[in-house]
Structure 1
Amino acid sequence: MLSNRTLTEEQTLIRRHFTDFFESERYEEKYHRRIQAMIVADKARLVMDIGDLLDFHLDVASLEAAGGVGGDGGATNPNTPTSLGMGIIREPGKYLPLLELALHDVVLRQQPEYLKVDYRSRAVHIGFEGPVGTVLSPRELYARHLNTMVALEGIVTRQSTNRPRVLETVHYCPETNKFTKKEFRDQLTPMLDSSHLPTVNVMPKTDMEGHALRTELGLSTFMDSQCAILQEAPERAPTGQLPRNVEVRFDDDLVDAVKPGDRVVVVGVFMPYTTADSKSFQSIVLVNHVAPTQAAAYLSRYISSVEDRLVAFAKKSIHREGPSGVLQVLAKAVAPTLYGITHEKRAVLLLMVGGVERQAHNTHIRGDINVLLVGEPSTAKSQLLRFVLGVAPLALSTTGKGSSGVGLTAAVAVDAYTGERSLSAGAMVLADRGILCIDEFDKMGASDRVAMHEAMEQQTVTIAKAGVHASLNARCSVLAAANPIYGFYSVHHRLAFNVGLPESLLSRFDLTFIILDQHSSAHNRRIATHILRNHMTSTPVTLDPVVTKTIVDGGVDAGPQEGGANAAGETQHGLDFRMTANSTGESIVSVDFLRAYIQFCKGGSPLLTEASQQLVSQHYVQLRAEQQDGTRDGFFVTARTLESIIRLATAHAKLRLSPTVEEDDVAAAMELLRSSVHAASAATQQRDEDNRTSRAEVAPDDAAAAATEAGRKRGIDAVGGGRSPEEAAQQRMRLEDTTPRAHAASADSAPYLHDNAAAVQLSRRIVEALKGLKQEQRQSVPLAELHERLGGATSAGSLADLARTVSGMQGDVFVYESERGRRRQRAASSFRT
């Protein structure tokens, strides 16, 4: 506990410098207003700008003369602080208590009543903001930072309850009728004179004369204290390494200033300490100032300098492409290495922009957009999630199989030393105000999925266990990817059956897309061309990229961008706004520009016009009319769908930098929503089209015969090498004799290839039908009923052909045909559930 006891000459001089700082002409008015605001708000902490103290220089010669830091031969010691701010940063244990004493004197002169609280004297504290130094992460703290002022950035993952610390106790002796005081300290308490400090913090039972003492707790002085764990931001942790953390302590008015899941920047003194039963030292940060940090704050500082260019880009895109021009142009820059999936890319872009969060009649209305991608293997779902992780300023990644319910929301942890219960934030809480990417969403257990219901709609996580009841914010968008549980999507079943998720959870996604693996040769050829172009046109990481044109004025610069005026104009503050080209040569915006534009437009709050409100209502009524039973296409249209339309339209208006949501925004939102609502029927049509295309593509053609003849000739020429002319001629004659047989075999194999491809398509339909039977708890099925379930119009043509097709399949459900009252096993599904 600080006291106004006798100071040394050096301490008196430093204290006088701090007093002069508060009374200086340059800073007197500024800090007089801050002190008055602190008094009016009834607070006990004055926030000071460390930059002001860095500009207030010290008299180094006077300090050395006072014995603070001695020099040899009159030379100035280089370690002597040259300013008050440098002294605070380098030696906070010496300078910070003296600064608080100087502030106490100033407040005492201005308003002495403020310092009197009941019978005690109010303690005033100092908090620092400004250029303390480089903002570090817990991973970057080293021994050289001990006993210095540091600024740390991270996420609060665990927090203890308030534990008051005793500062001073009052003891009463009934025999002598006297009161005595005893000050308590720990290794982290700053003191001006260590000789007055007790070495053992034990509550006294008797006085110096052996008289019994009674502790008067009501007259003793305590201070609120709270410990927390500050963890390194997951996106800043090196790949393959766990995020580091550090313990921090909040005292007095800073208690409960943060909660688990908050991203904050704390300023404090990094100090070591040890315990009686430990032989090693531990470290802790004594916080004097805490402030929330916004994701991508580093980018926000530069938005104002490029705001004109962002607005010009939006106007130019709308003028060229129409009202949805911005969405179309920016969507091309979303995962440009992926072919197709246009609607999915646009949905992801709107997810990163988000809607508008509102509070109506004490009811929270979600503004974040949730998107679910359901696709067969190798449809680039995970790649799309990875792109969002790299572009979004705040995004966390997890998997359904590797995450538990408490790991996604929050858990109650027990401190190993104190036995105290505390809250540990999960992934959704840590992703507050950001995006949570969940891969393998279908692998999540049923008990774990229940924990996400509240977090995805109310955007809060409520914990009521082990005597702890708390509610944490989980205001994040969810981008999830799931595979069908049987490996491929069955168009004959609903979405919930394919992914194994309940309708209550699926309804919380604003958009749900079904991505099928198309089998047509034309589609495969386009994908192959796109991937090959990516490999051929992509720049190795060791070389400098080549830029094609600028972003707003459209000027072309075909030369390399090493220096030059264009490079200087398009690269600002470490951000590259130059346009690049995708694999097809089409110009797309850079990732830096996409990130800056999203950050710029996220701050908008457009309102719906009367016309757009009526249009939203009409579309919602129409969707309800189309799905009166609520199950058509496997999707439910509920009131949540209406809110989804509003969120999507609002996000599109924010992309246009418009203050209002117009009818064009509603139309763009409905285009995406209809592609989501009718995704099941679209998947059925696409699967049928693939089946028809596959049958048509397996027909024989002359190219195969020509390739066989060319291969035969190359084989004859190769046989002649290294042999005598006679031996080569004899071998050529033997090969010529086999030519008619080879042509006959080739002609016979063509219809076989056609039939084989058709059988593959038929096998898929049989597997889907048998899986449906297994879901119905049936162990067998007659061949005639299976033929009827397949629609009767199969490529097999008859029951005999169908029986021949299933004869090679093995599994649990078997197909039989009735022969004189007996059942003869034919086949069974190879998929076990």
Structure 2
Amino acid sequence: MSQKITKLKRISSKISPSILYAAFTTPYLIGGLEMDRGFKEKLEEFLNQKWVIKELHRITASGQKSLVIEFGRLIDFDMELANSLLGFPNEFIEEADKILEQITSLEGMRLRVKNLDRSTPIRDIRASDIGKFIQVEGILTRMSDVKPEIREAVFKCVACGEEQSVPQTDEVYREPIYCGNPECTRKRGPFKLVVENSKFIDWQSMRVQERPEQLRGGRMPRQLDGIVREDYVDKAVPGNHVVITGVLRVFQEGFGRQRKTTFRKILFVNHLEVVQKGVEEYELSAEDEAKIKELAKDPWLRNSIIQSIAPSIYGYEPIKEAIALQIFGCPAIELPDGSRKRGDIHILLTGDPGVAKSELLKWVSQVAPRGLYTSGKKATGVGLTAAAVRDEIGGGWTLEAGALVIGDGGIVAIDEFEKMSDEDRSAILESLEQQTISVAKAGIIATLNTRTAVLAAANPKGGRFDRHRSIVEQVDLPPVILSRFDLIFIMRDEPQAERDRTIAHHMLELHREPTAVIRPPIDVDTLQKLVIYARKNIDPKFDDTEAMKALEDFYVKWRSVAEKGEAPLPITPRQLEAMIRLSKANARMRLSNRVTVEDVNRAIKLISFYLHEAGIDTETGKVDIDILMTGRSRSQREKLQKIWDIIKELESQHGGSAPVEEIKRMAEIEGISSAFVKNVIEEEMRRGYLYEPKPDHVSRVVKT
């Protein structure tokens, strides 16, 4: 390291961070520091190595202008050179860019450095990092539109027409102070910007947030704003997991006389890389893999896993089995025509208060790799999906990711799902099925990935669940959303003396001696590693023809009851796909690449349990999938048709309108209650199919 840099290091330890910022991060001040000749020679020697020249030939031939190098290359070449990048990045990068431009004879060549020896957690960034070259990892939550940024401004004197160039080397727009023409009669201008002769580069603001798996103990995720330029704009979209290197700078908060003593941190990005998402980025040791392979030999492994799901919560075995399958998941399938079949399993929990819905969600979000917990009620701002919001750095609009985009590649647990905003309701459909979010707002058009499994909890409208009414009538979610869930469970709190005593004993023992009560067969750490291993290495296939036939027979048998149109339809292809996903997840949970008949039977058992709970017609006692698909059962549709026929008949008898009381009387003869008639009339009026021409009369809206 040069003597000048060594001297600066000694000085920097004695002065305040704000002075350090002024000395090392303000471009026009840094430009005043001259590089040591030996340092320049060392940097030139590094950039003139054969492998660098070869790489430069490759990138320039393809029209690129960024040379990306590993930080380790700098360390191997010269440790002092590597340290100078970390401590004095502005000088280093400015000089390196000049050398690259000389070597290639191309303007705008840039040096990009990636893979530092360590990443700084966003929450650990401190004043000592100001002006330093750092690396951060996180989720990209916001990306603005690309804007032109002026770097070389050409001004024309309005008085004499003289043009002069003013470099825009910092973040403040600068105009000439004097006219450069000695014969000009108005030395101080005014000056007009000549846009066509000025030089612009692409500019974009961004925001990166800590990853969910980095947070423990309910901590709020920290964020860091950044700026990318030139060929690095639009290299990522919100929801991407990124590793970023750059120079940390600070800007004073407030304006004019309202300026504060605090400064805002902004990372000026040097290199940005989108990294692999999901469990693939987790590494397991050889010891971990050996332990997992030993577990795979256990014939009771599946039961041990299910018993290890939320062990502090008593009972709910079918729900815990479903959650275990959701955590292990099923591989997605990319079809030859470009379409994609999702592998993530979506589960909805609903029912009475105090039945541990929220506790199950929180447990999953804390234990599942890449788990995230949020609430439909509290998901303000961008909500669950994504939105265009005002850019705080550059003005205008920017695209910001919601919980489902941030949770891409993991599991998102959403409490109070029924309280989500109307905007989220319209976007959630695409997210649940296609696993993308399409945004077209404020001139921003984008499609973001939401490849996440959703575990949602919703409360019934009346507080408690009424087993004599359908789920559609009680949960404030439209059928089109309900039908997107693979499994729906109704959690009831009904008095049962023996069960109540067992639950009470379990809860009291938890308070007396928690470690004795909560002894899951597989501890949380091992369970997480088991999930990671399975999702990375196990890809179950339907190689067993008997397993395929068992699934096919069940599907055909259930549908055959409605073949003659005399019974409601109990199942659709959507449930068949759910059974396929559950069967594969069962095999993966056993750490097997082959789906067996037992895997299929367990999937069938779960689907049957769900349909007999959430898809039952309370009037006939039969499974009717149309309750979830359309909101009405077959028997309700038949009643509705009778009411329409009555209205039509009464209209012809009463001059075009039907008396409501007469409709109720005639419906009662057909076995339809007055309450049902009242609900139908109110709903059809809301939907615009009926209107009230005069008090206590209704008429059909006839389309012409």
TM-score by length of 1: 0.63
Q: Secondary structure at the match of 1:288?
A: strand
1:385 maps to 361
2:426 maps to 450
Mark the CA change 1:644 to 1:33 in structure 2 (over 3 Å): closer, same or farther. Answer: farther
1:291 maps to 273
Query: Would the aligned equivalents of 2:470 and 2:616 in 1 still touch at CA under 8 Å?
Result: no
1:773 maps to none
Mark the CA change 1:523 to 1:682 in structure 2 (over 3 Å): closer, same or farther. Answer: farther
2:467 maps to 491
Matched, 1:679 2:679: no
Query: Would the aligned equivalents of 1:15 and 1:102 in 2 still touch at CA under 8 Å?
Result: no
Alignment root-mean-square deviation, CA: 4.1
Quick one: which of 194, 210, 231 aligns to 1:253? Answer: 231
Query: Would the aligned equivalents of 1:303 and 1:600 in 2 still touch at CA under 8 Å?
Result: no
Letter in 2 for 1:50: F
Query: Would the aligned equivalents of 2:144 and 2:398 in 1 still touch at CA under 8 Å?
Result: yes
Distance 2:192 2:353 in 1: 75
1:91 maps to 88
Q: Deviations over 1:281-306 (max 9, x none)?
A: 43311111112345677972235552
Quick one: which of 46, 53, 58 aligns to 1:21? Answer: 46
Query: Would the aligned equivalents of 2:331 and 2:343 in 1 still touch at CA under 8 Å?
Result: yes
Matched, 1:596 2:596: no
Give the drift of 1:229.
1.9
Letter in 2 for 1:617: E
1:136 maps to 121
1:182 maps to 165
1:162 maps to 146
Give the drift of 1:595.
0.6
Quick one: which of 328, 349, 359 aligns to 2:303? Answer: 328
2:317 maps to 342
Q: Deviations over 1:289-325 (max 9, x none)?
A: 11234567797223555223212211x12xx33xxxx
Distance 2:560 2:125 in 1: 62
Q: Deviations over 1:31-84 (max 9, x none)?
A: 455445434543222222212323433xxxxxxxxxxxxxxxxxxxxxxxx611
1:101 maps to 98
Q: Deviations over 1:394-430 (max 9, x none)?
A: 2222223333695111222123675412222222222
2:539 maps to 605
Q: Deviations over 1:431-460 (max 9, x none)?
A: 122211111223446665333112111222
Give the drift of 1:357.
1.9
Letter in 2 for 1:500: D
Quick one: which of 577, 584, 589 aligns to 1:655? Answer: 589
Distance 1:204 1:471 in 2: 49
5+ residue gaps, structure 2, are: 1-25, 622-642, 644-659, 674-704
5+ residue gaps, structure 1, are: 58-81, 116-120, 190-198, 540-580, 688-775, 791-833
Letter in 1 for 2:317: T
Matched, 1:210 2:144: no
Give the drift of 1:19.
2.7
1:200 maps to 174
Q: Secondary structure at the match of 1:340?
A: coil
Comparing both chains, which one has the higher relative contact order based on Cα–Cα distances under 8 Å and sequence gaps of 6 or more? 2
Letter in 2 for 1:528: A
2:250 maps to 272
Letter in 2 for 1:466: A
1:152 maps to 136
Q: Which moved more, 1:497-506 or 1:125-134?
A: 125-134
Quick one: which of 44, 58, 67 aligns to 2:65? Answer: 44
Query: Would the aligned equivalents of 2:151 and 2:169 in 1 still touch at CA under 8 Å?
Result: no
1:11 maps to 36
Matched, 1:307 2:289: yes
Q: 1:223-238 residue pairs with structure 2 within 5 A? A: 223-233=201-211, 236=214
Matched, 1:622 2:606: no
Q: Secondary structure at the match of 1:480?
A: strand
Give the drift of 1:596.
0.8
Give the drift of 1:125.
1.5
**Whose radius of gyration is greater, 1 or 2?**
1
Distance 2:425 2:183 in 1: 68
Letter in 2 for 1:592: D
Letter in 2 for 1:439: D
Query: Would the aligned equivalents of 1:132 and 1:149 in 2 still touch at CA under 8 Å?
Result: no
Letter in 2 for 1:329: S
Distance 1:204 1:595 in 2: 67
Distance 2:45 2:468 in 1: 82
Q: Deviations over 1:339-377 (max 9, x none)?
A: 111111111111112222233213232221100112222
Alignment: residue pair count: 592
Q: Secondary structure at the match of 2:200?
A: strand
1:192 maps to none
Distance 1:274 1:405 in 2: 26
Q: Deviations over 1:439-489 (max 9, x none)?
A: 122344666533311211122222233333322222211101123322332
Mark the CA change 1:259 to 1:342 in structure 2 (over 3 Å): closer, same or farther. Answer: same
Give the drift of 1:183.
4.5
1:357 maps to 332
Give the drift of 1:667.
2.4
Distance 2:178 2:595 in 1: 71
Distance 2:494 2:192 in 1: 85
Mark the CA change 1:297 to 1:655 in structure 2 (over 3 Å): closer, same or farther. Answer: closer
Matched, 1:125 2:101: no
1:559 maps to none
1:422 maps to 398
Give the drift of 1:649.
1.7
Query: Would the aligned equivalents of 1:491 and 1:680 in 2 still touch at CA under 8 Å?
Result: no
